[in-house]
Amino acid sequence: MENPAHPAASHWQERFAAALLDAEREPPRGLKTWNGSDPVKRFAVYRNNVVVNLVDGLCETFPVCLELVGEEFFRAMATAFVRAAPPSGPVLAQYGAELPDFVEQFEPAADIPCLADVARLEWARVTAWHGADAVSLRPEDWSAIAPDELARISVVCHPAAAVMRFSSPAVSVWAAHQLDAAARHAKPEAVDISRGEQCLVIRPELEVEVILLPPGGVVFFERLMSGEILGMAAATASASDPQFDISANLATVMRPGIAIRFANNERTPQ
């Protein structure tokens, strides 16, 4: 191996990394082993361990996807993903953001409903888990707002909050897999695969929550997160969906952990 201080070392490292995740490539020249064993065979073992560890990490990050397709299928798909999109950073917990899009284009999974959307939801939960902390508004903060003022205020949502819309019932599918096997067997529920859903992913304290939003909810929250006052956000959401329920959506906004302060109101808590 070249001296790490030598300019050629970076090129050697690039060749090493490329061969590590591509079984068709030969290991870079210059490899040596401490015990005199065959460096090509040792590299093959190391290559396999790296891929297995990355796949293991994806299995932990996307547990519901794994359950949906079975471990053998998921590992094969994850291995293909690892080879196509290796990590760009050193933190394993941050690896997997591109998997949902990969799943959507992965031909063997084309006839598996919801898989890519469930992967997106699971990655959103990972993102929320690593999001910033913030103290949220309390019920008494909301009760201090006069009813005729409510439509004119705007709120700042929790920094870990994200709204998601799916063309599939990904939220219901994900939620069903949070039950243990006995509960799923005792209460089977048919899921309409053609029905889309929308949700809010949030981490108010130490646990990530997935809140199924009522009709129009995703537009309502998107407008709130862009800084619109409640009244304007509600009007936009109502125009986008005739089933928009202002009471149900306001109840969601007022849930602990959703909003952290009023953006244009002196009653924002310290």
In a domain, 117, yes or no: no
Where in the sequence is the domain holding 74, given as residue range(s)? 1-112
Q: For the whole model, what pTM was predicted?
A: 0.80
Q: Are residues 189 and 88 in the same domain?
A: no
Q: Are residues 82 and 171 in the same domain?
A: no
Q: Are residues 48 and 173 in the same domain?
A: no
Contacts within 8 Å (CB) and 24+ apart, 123-127: 123/61, 123/62, 123/96, 123/97, 123/99, 124/162, 124/164, 124/201, 125/201, 125/208, 125/210, 126/61, 126/93, 126/96, 127/160, 127/162, 127/201
The residue written with tokens 């067997």 in the block is 185
Residue of 155, 162, 146 lying closest to 269 (CA atoms) = 155
Predicted pLDDT at 266: 42
Tokens of residue 259, six digits: 């909003």
Predicted pLDDT at 40: 61
Structural domain count of the chain: 2
Q: Find the radius of gyration of the CA atoms of the chain.
A: 24
Query: For residues 160 and 225, what is the distance between their CA atoms, to the nearest angstrom?
Result: 12
Classify residue 112 as exposed, middle or buried by CB count within 10 Å of its CB (0-12, 13-18, 19+): middle
Q: Are residues 262 and 174 in the same domain?
A: yes
* 232 touches 240 (CB < 8 A): no
Give the end of a domain, one of 112, 147, 163.
112
Q: Are residues 172 and 242 in the same domain?
A: yes
In a domain, 121, yes or no: no
The residue written with tokens 């969601």 in the block is 252
* 137 touches 269 (CB < 8 A): yes
Q: Are residues 174 and 94 in the same domain?
A: no
Strands (DSSP E) along 107-251, which ranges? 155-157, 162-166, 197-202, 209-212
Predicted pLDDT at 88: 80
In a domain, 17, yes or no: yes
Taking 3-state DSSP, the helix, strand and coil percentages for the chain, each rounded to the nearest 5, stand at 50, 10, 40
In a domain, 118, yes or no: no
Q: Are residues 17 and 81 in the same domain?
A: yes
Predicted pLDDT at 192: 67
In a domain, 20, yes or no: yes
Predicted pLDDT at 86: 85
Predicted pLDDT at 186: 42
Rounded average pLDDT per 10-residue block, the chain, 270 residues: 49 62 63 62 65 92 96 96 85 89 95 94 94 88 90 92 93 86 50 82 88 92 93 94 92 90 58
Residue of 20, 36, 25, 28 lying closest to 1 (CA atoms) = 28
In a domain, 8, yes or no: yes
